[in-house]
Amino acid sequence: MMNFFRLTVTGAAFLVLAGCASQATIDEPPVAMGDFRLGHNIVVVSEPTIGPFSRTVEDDELKDALTLALSHRLGGYEGEKFYNIGAKIDAYVLALPGVPIVFKPKSVLVVTVTLWDDETGTKLNEEEKAFTVFEGLSEKTLLSSGLTQNKAKQLENLTNNAARSIQKWILENPEWIGLPPLPAAAPAAEVPDN
């Protein structure tokens, strides 16, 4: 009985801390993006693979959600050069409601991305960059987001996480956007969660 009580208290404390951590990053200022200015924001969805135990989503819903997330995260930068993003949604799972403990499906989004220099029309990454993005950990996703969130909210969370991952990847290649190279073994700038 005492172990159950400790686990319950520890779990509750973890959820409170997780909530505080994500709230703290909401107020952080945007990170420097050099000469980056978002040009074309092209998202393609064509017969994506739908994983097991997933809600289904129309292609247009997927496209609109990722387009909006990329615009929100990257559209506010006013650098001196335009960069075009081409993204393709390859696969997804939007968790269905399950039975907690026994069956806890998780949501996931698989996206491939190419970044282009608009002025020269050249690709900045030779091969498409693949991202596998999961929903963030919160009190609403701890058991399964299928139990606590509707399809639109799950999709919003996944596409926001995808946009954040894409921004982080761009920052890991600072030479693309006119920033100085990263010092050896130094991580890229931390991208806020907002």
Q: Which residues contact 78 (CB under 8 A, 6 or more apart)?
A: 37
Contact residues for 19 (Cβ-Cβ < 8 A; gap 6+) = 138, 139
- Mapped onto helix, strand or coil, the DSSP state of residue 173 is coil
Of the pLDDT bands very low, low, confident and very high (cuts 50, 70, 90), residue 189 is low
**pLDDT tens-place string over residues 15-44:** 333 333 333 333 446 799 999 999 999 999
The fraction of the chain above a pLDDT of 90, given in percent, is: 61
Please name the residue that has the structure tokens 């606590």: 148
Q: What is the pTM of this model?
A: 0.76
Q: 143: which 2 tokens? A: 């058991």
In the chain, the domains with their CATH numbers are 31-177 (3.40.50.10610)
The answer to whether residues 114 and 71 touch, using CB atoms and an 8 Å cutoff, is no
Q: What is the pLDDT of residues 66-125, one digit of tens each?
A: 999 999 999 999 999 999 999 999 999 998 876 454 556 789 999 999 999 999 999 999
